[in-house]
Structure 1
Amino acid sequence: MERPNPLQRLRCSVQNYDWGRPGADSLVATLHASNSGSQIELQKPYAELWMGTHESGPSYVVPPGNENGAAFGSESVSLKSWLSQNPNVLGRRVLDKWGCHLPFLFKVLSVAKALSIQAHPDKKLAETLHKLRPSVYKDDNHKPEMALAITKFEALCGFISIEELKSVLHNVPEVVELVGEADAAEVLRINEQDGEKKIKSVLQSVFTQLMSASAEMTTKVVNKMKNRLQIESQVRQLTEKEQLVLRLEEQYAADIGVISAFFLNYVKLNPNEALYLGANEPHAYLSGECVECMATSDNVVRAGLTPKHRDVQTLCSMLTYKQGFPEILKGFPVTPYITRYLPPFDEFEVDLCSLPRGATTVFPAIPGPSIFLVTGGEGIMFTGSSKSYEVGEGDVLFPATDTEITHTKPHLP
């Protein structure tokens, strides 16, 4: 069998969810247009660029000699099919553990308005959900993920501390109205000496009560809160969280996710900062652009800020109910131009390369697959065979395992 080139160019899929940024203001739109040769529809939302083997948004191997082609013919081959025909490019460790497809899914996100309050199931729960409701939970894999900010990026992630929640109950009467006086009083009575198990049990009870509120009660209470905050804003400065919930209410009127934001940490990432999102942790992206990497899955359990299917019972039963502000990952340098971000699991790591003109860096050979995405600029990549590849914005490349890659950014002529 003829050995494939050590570096394959990919054409990648785009998702046009309604929370995406319009084409005129979307990095996803720009990258996809460069990657595919397609035209940007200026008012259409461009939400996610997918790079990998997941069937909901497959990537395709560009045939030799068609690197600048804008479209695929009927003979185009998906990356998943190509890997099944060339399994050795994945490396023995990946083949033994994950078979003939990538263990990770790589994305770019352009977020104009909030995504759903959601969590991703662990492996055991994913298998159960997929078996019970395959039309909703479309694969049996877990989905731990990491978001690396390209622009300033906002998210909700994980539960606030119990002390912060007590403050919410004192200052947001609408929350007490939804969860009930008894559950609110249980939270106010609890203290650190009660132990982690007791605290999590109380938090689960009060959060489940909140998320299970009827549509009529939710509409009434969200409107009451909005009116109160609008009046109070005339005589005092609203807190960041109060300003956020008013913004969410504009996007998703009368939605329980507006109120549930008071229970979650409001996280603001600067460019090149990252956030790790483990299984069974509640979160919602709010605005900005990021690259995201995750285990190869599209399993999402939603319960608010969405017109899509909600599964409140599953979400509230699966969460870990850990409290406290999440760790912000700043990465660590591996060369003068490469910063590495390591999540606490096996499927992937993310390297960020920022290369000035006239500089060169080397990506060492690794015993597994990679995907390279060029988000801006241009340069030349060399493999160990000295074969060169001109690359620029929107290029996506797949190197075989154990391929050393030298990347250089020439001076302007």
Structure 2
Amino acid sequence: MEENNNTEIKKRKRMINKPLRLQCAVKNYNWGIVGNKSHVSRLFCLNSGTHINPNEPYAEFWIGTHESGASFLDHGGLSLKEWISKNPDVLGDRVLNKWGGDLPFLFKVLSVEKALSIQAHPDKELARTLHKSQPSLYSDENHKPEMALALTEFEALCGFISLKELRNVLCTVPEIVDLVGGADAEQCFPVSEFGRSQEVKAIVESIFSQILLSSRDEICEIVSRLKWRLNLEKKKRQLTDKEMLVLRLEGQYPDDAGVLATFLLNYVKLNRGEALCIGANEPHAYIRGECIECMATSDNVVRAGLTSKHRDIDAAEGFPQILKGISLNPHTTRYLPPFEEFEVDFCIIPQAASVVFPSVAGPSLFLFISRNGTLSAGFSKEQIVEEGEVLFVPAYMEFTITSQSKELHLYRAGVNSSFFQAF
């Protein structure tokens, strides 16, 4: 018996001292890209060895410990969360003391063909309240700030428009004025451009809420009028980007209040390699494209429009922040959001070149998104790493990745460096 225990301890120590391969989950939400044309379907197929259903949408590839889409140790049958709970030292003391025996971040790949619902993720206080009052809808007590890093051209709505833009909307979209009432619409005009941000935000939120609280009959009538007017006007002039987007969303979600609410949100177009930061309580919707997404470990969503699911409009405020990343070395760009739970590195390694990933005081998740290479660390045998593979790397482990192909592309998610610098 003692000999068996010693063997198990030695096996566990070997696992703790090297990266672990993970098998990850996929989500087939109806807004995903159908078949094998997306990053999500391709990565899931390579990661799991599962064939792709050509008629099924592939929306999200989940990497992490959240129970809604847990990752498992390759061939082990043990979830990553269960393994970490048995080996908490892999998180590092600072992460363990701050967040307990779990990863503080969740890593995803998204492939978006149809717009997601207008939504916000609650802050910690609201998340606790919602989880306590409606646990079936809000599955945990955590907040969910997030960052979307574009893999392709990526479209999103994020944050309320400025006062100047709101005035323009009320002058050019008569359907909104008709819906909320002239007196309410005109309340923004006396406000100074240099007025208090809280005052401006309150006005936008008020109009936004009135749209979303309108009856379905009212919305059906107003959206029908809006659609008729825009289709008539596009024969005479070039519609604005926002107007064309509204017509596209109406085709996806007919007679939805979110179609009108779109006018009150910033329309953001990201180029590949640009990232969008989304704080707690900030209204947003992903429209189309593919991205890497990283967030605090939570699955709480407060929906407001462009959806057939449960809605709640009490949590929505803020403006978008776009990151272009900072260069760490000739091959690595780091994206540092203003959230202590996570950061993301993007690495392009040319053939035969190497990148050293230094020891850090917290855990990391690595996703190899194209080509292959080798990984060497404090263990004797070099490991091959290939497209679609996902690795969990414990704290305090330095290792080197060398590309064996034309260009090896990988993403790393870890705890934000600023968290460790605070000590």
Which range, TM-score by smaller chain? over 0.9
CA distance in 1, matches of 2:307, 2:397: 43
Write the letter of the residue equivalent to 1:47: A
Partner of 2:331: 337
**Which segment drifts farther, 203-212 or 91-100?**
203-212
1:48 to 60, 77, 101: 60
Aligned to 2:27: 15
* Counterparts of 2:279 and 2:198, CA distance in 1: 20
**Following TM superposition, by how much is the alpha carbon of 1:384 offset from its aligned partner in structure 2, in angstroms?**
2.6
Aligned partners of 2:263 and 2:32: how far apart in 1? 24
The CA deviation at 1:389 is 1.6
Q: CA deviation at 1:195?
A: 2.4
Amino acid at match of 1:188: F
Aligned-residue offset at 1:94: 1.1
Counting only pairs closer than 5 Å after superposition, residues 336-375 of structure 1 correspond to structure 2 as: 336-375=330-369
**By how many angstroms is 1:411 displaced?**
5.6
Amino acid in the other structure paired with 2:129: T
Question: 1:127-276 maps to which residues of 2 (within 5 A)?
Answer: 127-276=128-277
**Which residue of the partner structure matches residue 296 of structure 1?**
297
Distance 1:280 1:148 in 2: 20
Distance 1:193 1:410 in 2: 56
Shift of 1:193: 4.8
Moved over 4 A (4+): none
Letter of the 1:176 counterpart: V
Identity of aligned residues (%): 56
The alignment partner of 1:77 has SS state of coil
Kept in 1, the 8 Å contact 2:371–2:405? The answer is no
Match of 1:226, SS state, is: helix
- Per mean C-alpha deviation after superposition, the further-off stretch among 205-214 and 118-127 is 205-214
Aligned partner of 1:384 in structure 2 is 378
Query: Aligned partners of 1:204, 1:259: CA distance in 2, in Å?
Result: 14
TM-score (norm 1): 0.93
Q: Distance in 1 between matches of 2:172 and 2:380?
A: 65
Q: Deviations over 1:118-166 (max 9, x none)?
A: 0000011101100000000000000000000000000000111001010
Q: Match for residue 316 of structure 2?
A: 319
Query: Residues of 2 paired with 1:242 and 1:127: CA distance?
Result: 38
Q: Are residues 10 and 411 of structure 1, via their aligned partners in 2, closer, same or farther at CA, if it must alter by over 3 Å?
A: closer
Shift of 1:342: 0.2
Deviation at 1:307, TM superposition (A): 1.5
The answer to whether the aligner puts 1:29 opposite 2:41 as a matched pair is yes
Shift of 1:198: 2.3
**SS where residue 318 of structure 1 aligns?**
coil
CA distance in 2, matches of 1:389, 1:221: 60
1:33/1:39 contact within 8 Å kept: yes
Partner of 1:407: 401
Task: Tell me, yes or no, if structure 1 residue 396 matches structure 2 residue 379.
Answer: no
- The structure-2 alpha-carbon separation of the partners of 1:148 and 1:386, relative to structure 1 and needing over 3 Å to count, comes to farther
Does the 8 A contact of 1:143 with 1:296 survive in 2? yes
The one-letter amino acid paired with 2:269 is: K
Name the counterpart of 1:67: none
Q: Secondary structure at the residue paired with 1:303?
A: strand
* Bigger shift: residues 106-115 or 197-206: 197-206
Equivalent in the alignment of 2:88: 87
Question: Aligned residue for 2:417?
Answer: none
> What SS does structure 2 have at the residue aligned with 1:302?
strand
Aligned to 1:68: none
Shift in Å at residue 40 of structure 1? 0.4
Write the letter of the residue equivalent to 1:353: C
Output one character per residue of 1:212-244: Cα deviation in whole Å (capped at 9) or x when no partner: 111000011011100100011111110000000
Q: How many Å apart are 1:20 and its aligned residue?
A: 0.2
> What is the letter of the counterpart of residue 406 of structure 1?
T
For the 8 Å contact 1:23–1:30, the answer to whether it is kept is no
Check conservation: 1:148, 1:292, Cα contact below 8 A. yes
Q: List runs of 5+ in structure 1 lacking aligned partners.
A: 64-74
Deviation at 1:188, TM superposition (A): 2.2
Answer yes or no: is the 8 Å Cα contact 2:91–2:362 preserved in 1. yes
CA contact (8 A) 1:19 1:45 kept: yes
Per-residue CA deviation, residues 164-188 of structure 1 (Å, 9 max, x unaligned), is: 0100000001111121111101022
SS at match of 1:281: coil
Structure 1 residue 387 displacement after superposition:
3.4
Aligned-partner Cα distance in 1 for 2:405–2:103: 35
Q: Deviations over 1:327-380 (max 9, x none)?
A: 321001101100000011211110000111111111111100100001111111
The size of the alignment, in residue pairs, is 394
RMSD, aligned CA: 1.2
Distance 1:296 1:332 in 2: 24
Question: Where does the alignment leave 5 or more consecutive residues of structure 2 unmatched?
Answer: 1-8, 407-423
Q: CA deviation at 1:91?
A: 0.7
How far apart in 2 are the matches of 1:291 and 1:255?
28
In the alignment, is the contact (CA less than 8 A) between 2:22 and 2:391 conserved in 1? yes
Contact 1:24 1:43 survives alignment (8 Å): no
**In the alignment, is the contact (CA less than 8 A) between 2:278 and 2:321 conserved in 1?**
no
Contact 2:24/2:61, CA 8 A, preserved across alignment: yes
